[in-house]
Every structure is written in C-alpha cells, then in structure tokens.
Amino acid sequence: MLYILVGEDDFSLTRSLEEIKQGLGDQSLLMANTTVLNGQQVTLDQLRAVVETAPFLAEKRLAVVQGLLGRFEAGSKPRRRKKAASPVEKEAEYKSFADCLTKIPDCTVLVLVDGKIKGGNPLLKQLSSRAKVVSFPILKGDRLLQWIKRGVVEQGATISPEGWIYWLSWWGATCGL
C-alpha cells in the first residue's frame, strides 16, 4: 500500500501517520520493521532495498520517506553538493523512483511524507492514481474553529465562550498572529 501525506499542518499529518502505524498490528514488531528515510538524499537502490525487504516476524513492513516529493519540486535545490541535474536527468530520476514505488510488494506499507507540494509535482502526478493521497493544509478561520471544537468534544470536554476567547488570544500570540 502506498500513502502520500502532504501539507503544512504537521500535527494532523503526524496524527494520520500514527493511525497508519496503529493499523499495522503489533507495535513492538512494527518497530523492528520500520525504516525512515530522508527523501532528499536517498538513492534509488537504497529505497528499493528497503521496500523489497521482507518483514521480520510480522505481516507488514513500514517504510516512511520524508521529503522525496519535494526533491522534484520546480526550483528545488540539488540534494547533494554537486552540480544541479539537467531537466532530462531530473525527469529520468523521478520516473525511476515512480517505477520503483509502483511495484512495492504487498507486505510493504510505504508512506511518503512531505510539506506543501504543488499540484504540478511530477512524482506526485505519477503516483497519485496508485496511492491514497491526503493533504493537510494549514487550518484557518472557521475550519480551525471546527477542528478545535471537534477535538474538545472527542476528549469529552467542553469549553465556555470565555475559554474560546482566552484560547484564541493565546494561540494567536503564540503563533505570532
């Protein structure tokens, strides 16, 4: 299974990743079967080795790759201190990654995690039809208030109007708003 989690709402994105992990069975076995890779530096061979490795004493293996999509954003910096790849080399590189990532075995759950990614990202375009893509934009205004209210209710708590005013002023000051 391939998941793509993107966006600037780190809290919700991390929560979603934790839900994926919880759905993969025994957490102590999952720890031994989890690999986290830096997508800006990983090579195709390293990624292939991780996703093709069979899980140890478990049904599933989890591979989390952080920043791979961002590597192929227009105007992104080269991943290492070498000369920038030509457009032809970049295209060949993302196509090679896309080919590898669409052929992962059923025993591997792969999660690509990234910040804000543009819709024109070539790797995202290649993978989105074969992945569960979830976007986590920064919440503002009414959407933020609804999220807070839902969280309060999920915790079995209530908040008074005065509490809302206090919380919103604290949050705005903390976030520099």
Average pLDDT on 146-150 reads 79
Reported as a single tens digit per residue, the pLDDT across 7-20 is 998 888 999 999 99
Highest average pLDDT, of 16-20, 53-57, 85-89, 148-152, comes from: 16-20
pLDDT at residue 82 greater than cutoff 60: no
The model carries a pTM of: 0.80
CA angle 146/147/153 to nearest 5° reads 90
Average pLDDT on 129-138 reads 91
Q: How many domains would you assign to the chain?
A: 2
Quote the domain boundaries for residue 48: 2-135
33 burial (CB, 10 Å; 0-12 / 13-18 / 19+) is buried
Residues 95 and 156 placed together within one structural domain of the fold:
no
Residues 162 and 102 placed together within one structural domain of the fold:
no
The rounded distance, in Å, linking the Cα atoms of 70 and 54 is: 28
User: What is the token pair recorded at 34?
Assistant: 């989890």
Residues 87 and 50 placed together within one structural domain of the fold:
yes
Highest average pLDDT, of 24-38, 71-85, 88-102, comes from: 24-38
